[in-house]
Amino acid sequence: NPPSDCPPDVEVLGRGTWTLLHSIAASYPESPSTSQQSDLLSFVKLFSKLYPCWVCAEDFRTYIGREVPRVESRDDFGKWLCGAHNDVNRKLGKPEFDCSRWQERWRTGWKDGRCD
The string over 62-83, giving b where at least 16 C-beta atoms fall within 10 Å of a residue's C-beta and e elsewhere, is ebbeeeebbbeebebbbbbbbb
Q: Which is nearer to ligand FAD, 33 or 80 (CB)?
A: 80
| Residue whose Cβ sits closest to ligand FAD | 14
Q: Which is nearer to ligand FAD, 33 or 45 (CB)?
A: 45
Residues lying near ligand FAD in the complex (CB under 6 A) are found at: 10-11, 14-15, 17-18, 22, 51, 55-56, 59-60, 82, 85-86, 88-89, 92, 94, 97, 102, 105
Q: Residue 106 CB: number of other CB atoms within 10 A?
A: 20
3-state secondary structure of 66: helix
